[in-house]
């Protein structure tokens, strides 16, 4: 894992992942729908978007466990486990990755919806698995649009709780604005862990 940086100005470079982390910590402490989340076990990081277009992947939640929090799972007839990730001495159960500059170039509302969209994927049991809905569309219910509509409701509810504006004011700026003001944008970069096949003969 690395912390990427650009040359800073007199203000110092803007730490994107630290700012997102502080916002998420406050959000998960205030809003009932997210209080099951322990942000100390969520690695918040960024990756560079492959193109400069606005459409495309904004963010991604990577679970570090299989269904029901299992440390192993079946894929294509084989048994697998996930490479573990530690920040300091704490093992991470999730990785929350934002794609820059694309994420920061969205509207204020779209950024908030994206953050909540990914956080809401975290299992209510906070066991390293994702939140699973019934039916075929177990990730976003029957409609991703309805899922995101609910995130808009959550965003309005959170903002109505009067959190400190300095926690989210950076979301009103785009990537270039932040870069020009601070002289650079920095943050934590974490490679996505790999699936590791388990030799069945060793577990027999």
Judge whether 135 lies within some domain.
yes
In the predicted structure, residue 2 carries a pLDDT above the cut 60:
no
pLDDT at 199: 74
Q: What share of the chain has pLDDT > 70, as a percent? A: 86
- The single residue listed with the structure tokens 């942000």 is 39
pLDDT at 203: 45
In the predicted structure, residue 9 carries a pLDDT above the cut 70:
no
* Domain carrying residue 65: 2-198
Q: Cα separation of 104 and 172, whole Å? A: 9
In 72-170, alpha helices (H): 108-120, 144-160
Judge whether 204 lies within some domain.
no
Which residues have CB under 8 Å from 171's CB, separation 6+?
23, 108, 111, 112
Of residues 175, 196, 36, the one with CA closest to residue 119: 36
Instruction: Give the mean pLDDT of 56-67.
Output: 94
Judge whether 39 lies within some domain.
yes
Q: Which two tokens stand for residue 113?
A: 């919806």
Judge whether 43 lies within some domain.
yes
Per-residue model confidence as pLDDT tens digits over 126-181: 999 999 876 554 455 567 788 889 999 999 999 999 999 999 999 999 999 999 99
Judge whether 72 lies within some domain.
yes
Q: Cα separation of 173 and 189, whole Å? A: 21
104, 173 contact by CB (below 8 A): yes
Judge whether 203 lies within some domain.
no
Instruction: Give the mean pLDDT of 79-101.
Output: 96
Longest dimension (CA), the chain: 61
* Length of the chain as a residue count: 204
Per-residue model confidence as pLDDT tens digits over 22-57: 999 999 999 999 999 999 999 999 999 876 677 789
Q: Share the mean pLDDT of the chain.
A: 89
Which backbone phi and psi does 168 adopt, to 5 degrees? -125, 0
C-alpha distances (whole Å) from 11 to each of 3, 15, 80, 98, 202 are: 18, 11, 46, 23, 55
Q: Cα separation of 160 and 155, whole Å? A: 9
Q: Poorest-confidence range of 70-79, 98-107, 133-142?
A: 133-142
In the predicted structure, residue 105 carries a pLDDT above the cut 50:
yes
Q: Cα separation of 13 and 159, whole Å? A: 27
Judge whether 146 lies within some domain.
yes
Judge whether 162 lies within some domain.
yes
Q: Count up the domains in the chain and report the number.
A: 1
């Amino acid at each position: 894992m690395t912390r990427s940086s650009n040359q800073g100005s007199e203000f110092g470079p803007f730490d994107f992942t630290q700012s997102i982390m502080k916002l998420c910590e406050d959000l998960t402490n205030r809003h009932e729908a997210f209080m099951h989340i322990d942000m100390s076990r969520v690695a918040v990081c960024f990756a560079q978007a492959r193109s400069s277009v606005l459409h495309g992947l904004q963010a991604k939640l990577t679970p570090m466990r299989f269904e029901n929090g299992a440390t192993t799972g079946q894929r294509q007839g084989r048994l697998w486990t996930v490479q573990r990730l530690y920040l300091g001495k704490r093992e991470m159960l999730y990785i929350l990755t934002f794609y820059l500059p694309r994420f920061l170039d969205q509207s204020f509302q779209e950024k908030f919806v994206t953050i909540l969209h990914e956080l809401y994927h975290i299992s209510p049991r906070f066991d390293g698995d994702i939140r699973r809905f019934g039916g075929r569309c177990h990730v976003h219910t029957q409609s991703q649009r309805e899922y995101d509509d609910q995130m808009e409701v959550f965003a309005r509810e959170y903002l109505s709780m009067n959190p400190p504006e300095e926690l989210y004011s950076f979301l009103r700026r785009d990537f270039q604005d932040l870069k020009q003001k601070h002289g650079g944008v920095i943050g934590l970069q974490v490679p996505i862990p790999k699936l590791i096949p388990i030799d069945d003969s060793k577990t027999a």
